[in-house]
Amino acid sequence: MEMRDSFVDTTTTLLAQEPRTALVLADISAALFTAAAERHPDRVLNVGIREQLMLGVAGGLALTGLRPIVHSYAPFLVERAYEQIKLDLDHQAARAVLVSIGASFDRASAGRTHLSPADVALVDTLSGWTVHVPGHPDEVPGLLRTTVAADGSAYLRLSTLSNGRPYPGDGDLVLVRDAGAGAALLVAVGPTLDAALAATEGLPVTVAYTHRPRPFDTAGLRTLADNEVILVEPYLAGTSARVVAAALADRPHRLLALGVGREELRRYGSAEDHLRWHGLDPAGLRRSVTGFLTPAAADRTPTPAMLGQYV
């Protein structure tokens, strides 16, 4: 079962259990909600291929007291109708739960139109949003139930990429591998964890996991971090750098922020290919981390990720 299947099952249950819940679609995944739409025709609303309307409708539903879940492919949900998120939700003080599929490059072979590495950074321009980036399908039901039951706005970023095991919890940093005092702290977000663990095997690096980059667990970060922090995010590199910098502002520290590069590669292939090209596979991560930890500047051969290049 992939994350989208978990989302469909949990949402279908929520629609049946909680009459405040509504689902707004723009054709994407509509076929998976056929049964739910037949049972709840007034609360499962497929507006067709109209993303501006999808978010406007969500805003209107929320203004009447419903709790809308809005779902589409990440670039169409977050990027295409960004002003509707800003104005039809936030400016109206209307709240919704946005759930995307596609992530950064799940459908790499579809090309740039279906890639959305900047989605979390874009949501991060807004105020008060919770962002969940689950790393395993089994994390999805709990996150979805919790965010729908809450009142705030939230963005759940689902992917076909996944770690080998789930880490339930509310999103505070989970200590996965403790390398002892003085070690660098690597924070892996969502489905980057397994590659980060493989990359740092045998290195003096403590590894922590979170599926909730916003609000980032800054208290946990301050507890676990010494003076070297490595961020590994499955979306735009540096998205959480400002949060880490602010959390450690009183502490001399170094930060390596890894993630997806800004350059449009104009290559197809698979998600695994793009992970490699962006230096997010175990070998690429190990190159970056080793370079970061090596004190002598002369020994620090820039990695592809550092240079924003691909190999």
* Interacting residue with other proteins among 47, 195, 221, 275 (CB under 8 A): 47
Q: At closest approach, how far in Å is the CB of 81 from other proteins?
A: 8
* Interacting residue with other proteins among 1, 16, 35, 93 (CB under 8 A): 93
Q: Is 36 among the residues that bind other proteins (CB under 8 A)? A: no
Nearest by Cα to 115 from 276, 281, 269? 269
Q: Is 16 among the residues that bind other proteins (CB under 8 A)? A: no
Q: Is 306 among the residues that bind other proteins (CB under 8 A)? A: no
Q: Which residues contact 264 (CB under 8 A, 6 or more apart)?
A: 112
Stretch that binds other proteins, among 80-88, 142-150, 212-220, 235-243 (CB under 8 A): 80-88
Residue among 19 and 308 whose Cβ is closer to other proteins: 19
Q: Is 25 among the residues that bind other proteins (CB under 8 A)? A: no
Stretch that binds other proteins, among 48-56, 110-118, 205-213, 260-268 (CB under 8 A): 48-56
Residue among 49 and 283 whose Cβ is closer to other proteins: 49
Residue among 1 and 63 whose Cβ is closer to other proteins: 63
- Beta-bridge mates of residue 101: 73
Q: Is 92 among the residues that bind other proteins (CB under 8 A)? A: yes
* Interacting residue with other proteins among 10, 11, 25, 43 (CB under 8 A): 43
Number of residues that bind other proteins (CB under 8 A): 28
Amino acid, res. 179: A
Stretch that binds other proteins, among 50-58, 100-108, 186-194, 221-229 (CB under 8 A): 50-58
Q: Is 63 among the residues that bind other proteins (CB under 8 A)? A: yes
Q: Is 202 among the residues that bind other proteins (CB under 8 A)? A: no
Q: Is 255 among the residues that bind other proteins (CB under 8 A)? A: no
Nearest by Cα to 154 from 179, 126, 181, 177? 126
Q: Is 223 among the residues that bind other proteins (CB under 8 A)? A: no
Q: At closest approach, how far in Å is the CB of 95 from other proteins?
A: 13
* Interacting residue with other proteins among 36, 45, 195, 285 (CB under 8 A): 45
Q: Rounded CA gap, 306 and 259, in Å?
A: 10
Q: Which residues bind other proteins (CB under 8 A)?
A: 22, 42-43, 45, 47-48, 50, 52-53, 55-66, 83-84, 87-88, 91-93
